[in-house]
Structure 1
């Protein structure tokens, strides 16, 4: 049923009476400084008046000021703090560009500005579809991506609550809007925000959003159920009054104090139950329903006994959500009985605290920073935890368009969510670049990519994308991928999917081109890393390749990873006994003798064989304990393993302390030379890059040639492995004015 709400107080001229409105708010929620909220209201009102005078008002015709007050009223019912109410009042003014975030922060502080900014970022989410692109971006995939993206963008749950209030106002306001807009807003609210309200446990907002959405998405079925409810409303109310009086008399005899009320069944809930169970309206048990509120938990079960002694309960229609709460924390006893006149009646029984949780959800446990709250209550933190853990938003929506399968997919924290210029959302792995994104859209867009814009600003193709950014790919009509894209040290591609597509493109090119390009790539990389003394005959023999030409072709087509070839070349040029031991991958033989096995360190003993227990299968990071076996060394168990606990009781003398070992980090001094055209800030840029890689610089010298305006920089840097060295040289080479960056091999130092 649609919620009836109080009208905003107005003056004789029709304007909002802000002072009376503020008094009403203070009756619902305590304010730390009412003057601040009053200032926000007056400022939002003045901004709207200025916008109207400049004919720069909200194009949809609604009042941004009145909408802000309505949002604050919703949040006051949720008992949110003052910062949230202030952010709600001024949000629409910022959204309609009547002011900006800098001014908000100046007037009301960083917290309020941060809340407004968070809601603005969520405002970009929309499930509207461009029909022309429907084949490329399916509606089902969009809904799933939008839900996941929503979770990644919420840093403060208050942001989600303000957005829920804003969408509640939006769907209330579309009653007289064109049909297309009503459908679009309802689709978005139903798919995204009603499930979010359910996940946060805010019952009354969830029901309102679902009913209003259902009204516009399925108008015929909504009206049919509404008429059936209206036709029997008087008879149903008389019946409920009789039932409530009978319950009051019985509970009074049992000495139980309780509040009893009739419970209105929501239209969407009735329709969903009819569809799920394949029944008609007359078979929906909980159209006639009462709710009983008591003070203490034991009273819930005492009331249940009274109800079942009055009327026969219906088998399989009892749910104990007190002992087994729903995933969003909902707790209550639900039972269906055959009541007076043989009519089916639903009874809900809960404590007053449970009722407050059911209506307010996460807000019922709101924790203000700096206040004294019972630290034993973790309900608020638990609710935030599910917001971040899941995208199983709304199990009860499983019969609508196959959404259940989408909603049961776990949230993947290692993915980010990005907008196309058309407003579609695509997910890519964390760390992806614009080039990875181009291949995510379409292979040909990736092949023809020549540049990218992020939020309207040109960025390099090595830019690392972040959730919520809008990415536009700039393509050319001719050309193809660059072989540099396959060099991991240059940072163009960070996803295996995009890399495979580039490799596939080069495989289709002529062998001669691959040979030439592969030769150029390999020789350039070997020269840069000072490994150009490698014997190609030995190299191809070590790699298992027949001819030198086959090697170049394999590198050019991407069949052979350049980093792997370079690593093998280094082993040939710099044998372990006579080199600086710059290793691409650690060799087992380089480990110092120790009492380690399987990365497990044995405390206080020499070499002992170790093995991981099959019963508990510990992994690095788990607390562990060792058991000395007979003839098989030490078996490593998790500390909480049941087997280990039994052994502790029976054979504690054979238990031994163990810990996960760590491979010591080894670094080697490497001299790097950089040739560049001299410019101001060159040394600073190189130093910043080294700092970003967390590398230690042992020595720096710079020489400048005034004749040709060139500079030569020599640096000695501590490097742990060849892979990092290659990446470092690649990134230095991308700095402006840099001609070449390479490793110097000092023969005398070896």
Structure 2
């Protein structure tokens, strides 16, 4: 563990103007606050934030980031508060610490919900200041280095999976490849221990058999380039064990079939020398077709720039070679962290802050806003930081990077959310193609849009980006809410007509507040989904008015009187939810030990499932009236259809108890509706009225 003076000396070495007193205060503060707390390894807990701060000094980050690293666990794990941190270390440090700090654990949340809420807060803070991410990545890296001390295998695997799914890809997205590779290796060891042991064992065996082969190849490459006057640095290494395992899984091959397990890096003085070196290597050794990638002229989203190629060396050995300049190498290994590093004299590089240049951070914030629940947020975020990318262009030449398998819909949302929402078709390289067509590297994509277009639920079946998926779900939910609110407004107008006095806008606004809603549309949606009864709405609009409600206006509840013949007097029964029997149906009863009698229609499909119960021959008693019937209604997706259907229910004096959309497939929307009706004849009249309507494509009883 770094001692206090060692940490300060490290910072002063690259930033002589750093506030030494603040660094010392932060070190002492974290030691005092964590006190006697221990880690799973048995080490004092404060050793962890000190080591995280040490990782930040290796990246030569500013003093605020170093102090944040020292304090990042104090608010979560000690009695320290953000207000106290701000008092002692200033608002900038307090903001950064708050961004890194996890939300307090809420017992009522599931594990996924807690993870999602922590991730939501982290992403928002990261979008405001990228240093939050840098500290968080260092925090996770050190935790992974000590993961083996945790006794619970399930906990180790959960942390490793989270690292592999979220933090390693985030490190890749900001270009911190050293962090990414180490996180993947440590997570791989926990998630696939047998594969890890096998691959690392085989690599050790190769090293012992072939000795200094890596060094010999590196020397040959350097000599070939030196003969043309190029001054370069050449280094070689074995491929990352996780990278080898991933390639084995993707290609369905064995370790023996992986021929390119060695990679070499050529560092040049300039871009011109890099391209010259590429030409020399291709002339000296045979280049493998399809393996050349030029990330110099077309950098990755995270700013990564390099030339990649693969060569056939002696004895048919395949090797990968990366060629880059010294400046590119620094940025490639530490990514956007390099932009935060202080140069000598404490000056930052010219230009905007790095977090102001990263478009995918804005996409993540949009995903946070659009995600409906914990599962969606985790799913969309994992999609948004997916690693394998392709490049596609707009007709004007703007470049967009997308995950492999992306479609024109993903491309449209990558350009702008409004363009995705308005998309109706696409051209790839000048040819009309279906929206579900996967894009290839270098495609020119033109999106055809319409002012009246809307995102389709069916798009979720083929889009692959988190941004597209989140935007589609948000648009579909908004439309559903709008349609349900339209039903609610129609029902609301009927309720208002039954009030003893006319009402104005103020009465409606007061009712919205009394019922606990923020907006009038929320009230209409609640009425449309039968979350509020007529009486509750009337009382909220005009207190006392429901007491004078005439019987014939609320008949379903007041006239419901069901009796069943064939039951012992006093025997409990209930109407089955699977078939929703109503008076007039032929019915049968099922009686199971310790339970009441369940009443089904005689043709209910669930009766064929072999339920172990006594069957009772039942019939409706005299004057039985009032039960809930369920309908499936398919509506044409055009303005006014919901209002027309609502009018049919109202004209037939049927009370809606539940309504929800189960499918949207333009130009249709399919709904399930629960209605309080008198009997089967009443329900049949409603179905006939629906089928006669031009707004309805299909209507049937479930």
Identify the TM-score tier after normalising by the shorter chain: 0.5 to 0.7
Q: Does 1:217 align with 2:242?
A: no
Unaligned runs of 5+ in 1: 1-7, 10-16, 131-138, 416-426, 440-482, 527-542, 560-750
1-structure distance, mates of 2:527, 2:43: 51
Q: Does 1:116 align with 2:68?
A: no
Partner residue in 2 for 1:396? 388
Task: Map Cα deviations across residues 626-669 of structure 1 (whole Å, 9 max, x no partner).
Answer: xxxxxxxxxxxxxxxxxxxxxxxxxxxxxxxxxxxxxxxxxxxx
Partner residue in 2 for 1:288? 262
Task: Map Cα deviations across residues 344-400 of structure 1 (whole Å, 9 max, x no partner).
Answer: 11111011111111111111222889986565x45824653322224420233989x
In structure 2, the CA distance between the partners of 1:556 and 1:271, relative to structure 1 (3 Å rule), is closer
2:323 aligned counterpart, secondary structure: strand
1:505 aligned counterpart, secondary structure: coil
The answer on whether the counterparts of 1:518 and 1:556 sit within 8 Å (CA) in structure 2 is no
In structure 2, the CA distance between the partners of 1:381 and 1:58, relative to structure 1 (3 Å rule), is closer
1:223 aligned counterpart, secondary structure: helix
The answer on whether the counterparts of 1:199 and 1:387 sit within 8 Å (CA) in structure 2 is no
Partner residue in 2 for 1:173? 146
Partner residue in 2 for 1:730? none
1-structure distance, mates of 2:514, 2:163: 45
Q: Does 1:35 align with 2:21?
A: yes
2-structure distance, mates of 1:496, 1:545: 19
Task: Map Cα deviations across residues 488-537 of structure 1 (whole Å, 9 max, x no partner).
Answer: 89761669899646523259x6xxxx3x56655666799xxxxxxxxxxx
Shift of 1:408: 1.8
Task: Map Cα deviations across residues 170-207 of structure 1 (whole Å, 9 max, x no partner).
Answer: 11111122212211211221122111111111111111
The answer on whether the counterparts of 1:261 and 1:292 sit within 8 Å (CA) in structure 2 is yes
1:159 aligns with one of 107, 132, 139? 132
Task: Map Cα deviations across residues 422-468 of structure 1 (whole Å, 9 max, x no partner).
Answer: xxxxx999x99xxx9xx9xxxxxxxxxxxxxxxxxxxxxxxxxxxxx
1-structure distance, mates of 2:652, 2:517: 22
Q: Does 1:65 align with 2:46?
A: yes
In structure 2, the CA distance between the partners of 1:203 and 1:65, relative to structure 1 (3 Å rule), is same
1-structure distance, mates of 2:199, 2:524: 55
2:81 aligns with one of 84, 97, 100? 100
Shift of 1:66: 0.9
* 1:53-452 aligned within 5 A: 61-121=42-102, 150-154=122-126, 155-178=128-151, 179-236=153-210, 238-366=212-340, 375=350, 377=351, 380-381=354-355, 383-390=357-364, 391=381, 392-396=384-388, 408-410=465-467
Task: Map Cα deviations across residues 597-642 of structure 1 (whole Å, 9 max, x no partner).
Answer: xxxxxxxxxxxxxxxxxxxxxxxxxxxxxxxxxxxxxxxxxxxxxx
The answer on whether the counterparts of 1:518 and 1:554 sit within 8 Å (CA) in structure 2 is no
The answer on whether the counterparts of 2:515 and 2:540 sit within 8 Å (CA) in structure 1 is no
Partner residue in 2 for 1:23? 9
The answer on whether the counterparts of 2:30 and 2:46 sit within 8 Å (CA) in structure 1 is yes
Aligned length: 444
Task: Map Cα deviations across residues 313-354 of structure 1 (whole Å, 9 max, x no partner).
Answer: 111121111122222222111111111232111111011111
1-structure distance, mates of 2:208, 2:264: 16
TM-score, scaled relative to structure 1: 0.51
The answer on whether the counterparts of 1:143 and 1:191 sit within 8 Å (CA) in structure 2 is no
Partner residue in 1 for 2:31? 45
The answer on whether the counterparts of 1:25 and 1:73 sit within 8 Å (CA) in structure 2 is no
The answer on whether the counterparts of 2:62 and 2:341 sit within 8 Å (CA) in structure 1 is no
1-structure distance, mates of 2:509, 2:148: 56
The answer on whether the counterparts of 2:99 and 2:122 sit within 8 Å (CA) in structure 1 is no
Unaligned runs of 5+ in 2: 365-380, 390-402, 405-460, 485-507, 546-642, 660-702
2:73 aligned counterpart, secondary structure: helix
Shift of 1:487: 3.9
Task: Map Cα deviations across residues 127-164 of structure 1 (whole Å, 9 max, x no partner).
Answer: x965xxxxxxxx7x998887666433432111111111
The answer on whether the counterparts of 2:517 and 2:523 sit within 8 Å (CA) in structure 1 is no
In structure 2, the CA distance between the partners of 1:117 and 1:151, relative to structure 1 (3 Å rule), is closer
2-structure distance, mates of 1:329, 1:367: 16
1-structure distance, mates of 2:544, 2:656: 13
2:529 aligns with one of 475, 488, 504? 504
2:288 aligned counterpart, secondary structure: strand
In structure 2, the CA distance between the partners of 1:243 and 1:518, relative to structure 1 (3 Å rule), is closer
1-structure distance, mates of 2:645, 2:470: 41
In structure 2, the CA distance between the partners of 1:97 and 1:252, relative to structure 1 (3 Å rule), is same
2:293 aligned counterpart, secondary structure: strand
1:346 aligned counterpart, secondary structure: strand
TM-score, scaled relative to structure 2: 0.54
In structure 2, the CA distance between the partners of 1:173 and 1:485, relative to structure 1 (3 Å rule), is farther
2:517 aligns with one of 479, 486, 492? 492
In structure 2, the CA distance between the partners of 1:268 and 1:407, relative to structure 1 (3 Å rule), is farther
The answer on whether the counterparts of 1:357 and 1:364 sit within 8 Å (CA) in structure 2 is yes
RMSD: 4.7
The answer on whether the counterparts of 1:65 and 1:92 sit within 8 Å (CA) in structure 2 is no
1:356 aligned counterpart, secondary structure: helix
Shift of 1:282: 3.0
In structure 2, the CA distance between the partners of 1:200 and 1:43, relative to structure 1 (3 Å rule), is same
In structure 2, the CA distance between the partners of 1:496 and 1:407, relative to structure 1 (3 Å rule), is farther
2-structure distance, mates of 1:497, 1:278: 53
